[in-house]
């Protein structure tokens, strides 16, 4: 357990010897931000001091207990017990059973369930945005914006649920025709990154669900509370509609759980978002079993500025593209290629712009860089 504050080694020993076990536990729990009245809104998302990181119709978790920290102040937020390999096995079995139910639900009705998920997310948009600011470190506006991305793709998916394409082909046989029908794959696994823990899962799950697939989600180890909070919202909608909660299963964990997903033939499609080196490893494991995968990996983006460019737009665009999300996203601009005739002006104005960039508490509305 991490120790916070300034103490000498001797004073630590003295403190531990003079406190009762009950008092020590109380002090340890009260050091979590979730127990601070300032962050009481965390409990509105169904979070507590100790949370389960596995869900497959019921909550569990028998793996390692981890603590989620706020990157802005290094303070512990709450604890999460991760999924173990045994929990993973329960989740994959429950997901496959849930798929037998979900795939039989007509697509427009699946769209209605997903629409209700969007409404539930709208209700909790502000709290989820604040949770992202607290656990991820991005500013509040970006946190809420990411939740809105999830809601927006849900709106698209709801429309899609009534417009599945399928061609009708002429047949060479009299009084016959050929019909094309798309069928769901089954279990769709999603391994998401820390920098967009809500939107990336939303992009994958919204489309997958209306198409008749079920989700098995492993969020980033550093943002487990976001994964738990989102799953609680989705499971409440499924429960209200008398549907299996395992339609949206969660197996929060580390590389061990990710490896199980990549190698498991029961995961019909695996979506991975993260670094290029890890994405390469994941793709190799999935290819070894002739599986399907989607990869969204890192980039090395550049802005090319010609001599006739609008310098004002260049500076504004570069500042946003470089500093947005604290520079930690796949679309972050990492290089500027400047024509020599505008080089000095662009650099000078960028330096001035960076000097005005407000860095601080991501929950503060005045902060521009978390």
Residues written for the chain? 370
What pairs with residue 51 in β-bridges?
80
Cα separation, 204 vs 294, in Å, equals 10
Residue 20 has pLDDT above 90, yes or no: no
C-beta of residue 330 within 8 angstroms of C-beta of residue 295: no
List 97, 248, 296, 322, catalytic entry: 296
Residue 9 has pLDDT above 90, yes or no: no
The pLDDT value given to residue 205: 98
Q: Give the pLDDT confidence of 125-153 residue by residue, as tens digits.
A: 999 999 999 999 999 999 999 999 999 99
The pLDDT value given to residue 210: 98
The pLDDT value given to residue 131: 98
The pLDDT value given to residue 325: 92
Mean pLDDT (the chain) is: 91
Provide the total of helices (H) and of strands (E) in the chain, helices listed first: 12, 14
Residues 305 and 280 in one domain: no
Residues 198 and 347 in one domain: no
* Higher local confidence (pLDDT), 218 or 28: 218
Residues 194 and 288 in one domain: yes
Last residue of a domain, one of 276, 295, 314: 295
Q: Give the pLDDT confidence of 189-203 residue by residue, as tens digits.
A: 999 999 999 999 999
List 119, 322, 330, 345, catalytic entry: 330
C-beta of residue 87 within 8 angstroms of C-beta of residue 54: yes
The pLDDT value given to residue 185: 97
Last residue of a domain, one of 268, 295, 322: 295
From residue 30, alpha-carbon distances to 13, 72, 76 in Å are 20, 19, 10
The pLDDT value given to residue 300: 85
Residue 1's pLDDT band (cuts 50, 70, 90): very low
The pLDDT of 222-240, averaged and rounded, is 98
Residues 205 and 342 in one domain: no
Burial of residue 297 (CB within 10 Å: 0-12, 13-18, 19+) is middle
Whether residue 19 is contained in a domain is answered as: no
DSSP string for residues in 211-272: TT-EEEEE--TT-HHHHHHHHHHHHHHHHHTT--GGGEEEE--SHHHHHHHHH-TT-SEEEE
Q: Which two tokens stand for residue 336?
A: 């500027």
Whether residue 222 is contained in a domain is answered as: yes
Whether residue 115 is contained in a domain is answered as: yes
Residues 329 and 195 in one domain: no
Residue 165's pLDDT band (cuts 50, 70, 90): confident
Residues 213 and 321 in one domain: no
Instruction: State which residues form the domain around 346.
Output: 301-355
The pLDDT of 101-118, averaged and rounded, is 98
pTM of the complete model: 0.88
Residue 166's pLDDT band (cuts 50, 70, 90): confident
C-beta of residue 226 within 8 angstroms of C-beta of residue 200: no
Last residue of a domain, one of 266, 295, 324: 295
129 CB-near residues (< 8 Å, 6+ apart): 140, 141, 143, 144, 145, 146, 147
The pLDDT value given to residue 30: 53
Residue 98 has pLDDT above 80, yes or no: yes
Whether residue 4 is contained in a domain is answered as: no
Residues 265 and 310 in one domain: no
Residues 267 and 218 in one domain: yes
The pLDDT of 204-212, averaged and rounded, is 98
Whether residue 28 is contained in a domain is answered as: no
The pLDDT value given to residue 2: 38
DSSP letter at 57 equals S
* Higher local confidence (pLDDT), 182 or 48: 48
Residue 27 has pLDDT above 50, yes or no: no
Whether residue 364 is contained in a domain is answered as: no
Residue 80: helix, strand or coil by DSSP? strand
* Higher local confidence (pLDDT), 209 or 10: 209
Residues 153 and 199 in one domain: yes
Residues 142 and 189 in one domain: yes
Residues 284 and 350 in one domain: no
Q: Give the pLDDT confidence of 263-321 residue by residue, as tens digits.
A: 999 999 999 999 999 999 999 999 999 999 999 998 888 999 999 999 999 999 999 99
The pLDDT of 235-252, averaged and rounded, is 98
Whether residue 235 is contained in a domain is answered as: yes
Residues 194 and 252 in one domain: yes
DSSP string for residues in 162-213: T-----EEE-SSTT-EEE------SEEEEE--SSSTTHHHHHHHHHHHHTT-
Q: Give the pLDDT confidence of 324-358 residue by residue, as tens digits.
A: 999 998 889 999 999 999 999 999 999 999 999 99
Whether residue 94 is contained in a domain is answered as: yes
Give the torsion sign (CA, 83, 89, 93, 96).
positive
The pLDDT value given to residue 28: 44
167 CB-near residues (< 8 Å, 6+ apart): 179, 180
292 CB-near residues (< 8 Å, 6+ apart): 185, 268, 269, 270, 286
CATH code of the domain in which 227 resides: 3.40.605.10
- Concerning whether 296 is annotated as a catalytic residue, the answer is yes
> How many folded domains does the chain comprise?
2
């Amino acid at each position: 357990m991490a120790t916070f504050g300034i103490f000498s080694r001797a004073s630590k020993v003295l403190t531990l010897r003079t406190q009762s076990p009950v008092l020590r536990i109380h002090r340890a729990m009260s050091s979590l931000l979730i127990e601070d009245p300032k962050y009481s809104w965390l409990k509105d998302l169904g979070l507590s001091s100790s949370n389960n990181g596995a869900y497959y119709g019921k909550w569990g978790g028998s793996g390692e207990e981890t603590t989620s920290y706020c990157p802005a102040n290094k303070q512990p937020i709450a604890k999460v017990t991760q999924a173990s390999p045994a929990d993973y096995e329960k989740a994959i079995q429950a997901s496959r059973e849930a798929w037998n139910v979900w795939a039989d639900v007509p697509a427009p009705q699946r769209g209605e369930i997903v629409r209700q998920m969007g409404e539930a997310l709208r209700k909790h948009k502000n709290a989820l945005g604040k949770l992202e600011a607290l656990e991820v470190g991005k500013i509040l506006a970006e946190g809420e914006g990411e939740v809105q991305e999830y809601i927006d793709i849900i709106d698209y998916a709801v429309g899609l649920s009534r417009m599945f394409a399928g061609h009708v082909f002429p047949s060479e046989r009299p009084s016959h025709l050929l019909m094309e029908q798309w069928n769901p794959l089954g279990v769709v696994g999603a391994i998401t990154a820390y920098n967009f823990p809500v939107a990336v899962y939303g992009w994958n799950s919204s489309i997958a669900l209306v198409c008749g697939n079920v989700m098995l989600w492993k969020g980033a180890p550093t943002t487990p509370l976001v994964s738990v909070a989102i799953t609680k919202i989705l499971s409440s909608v499924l429960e209200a509609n008398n549907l299996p909660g395992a339609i949206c299963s969660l197996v929060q964990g580390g590389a061990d759980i990710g490896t199980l997903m990549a190698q498991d033939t029961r995961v019909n499609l695996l979506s991975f978002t993260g670094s290029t080196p890890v994405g390469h490893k994941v793709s190799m494991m999935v290819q070894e079993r002739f599986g399907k995968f989607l990869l969204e990996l890192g980039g090395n983006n550049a802005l090319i500025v010609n001599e006739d460019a609008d310098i004002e737009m260049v500076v504004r665009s570069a500042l946003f593209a470089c500093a947005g999300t604290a520079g930690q996203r796949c679309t972050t601009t990492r290089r500027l290629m400047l024509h020599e005739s505008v080089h000095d002006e662009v650099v000078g104005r960028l330096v001035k712009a960076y000097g005005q960039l407000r860095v601080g508490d991501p929950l503060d509305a005045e902060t521009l860089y978390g």
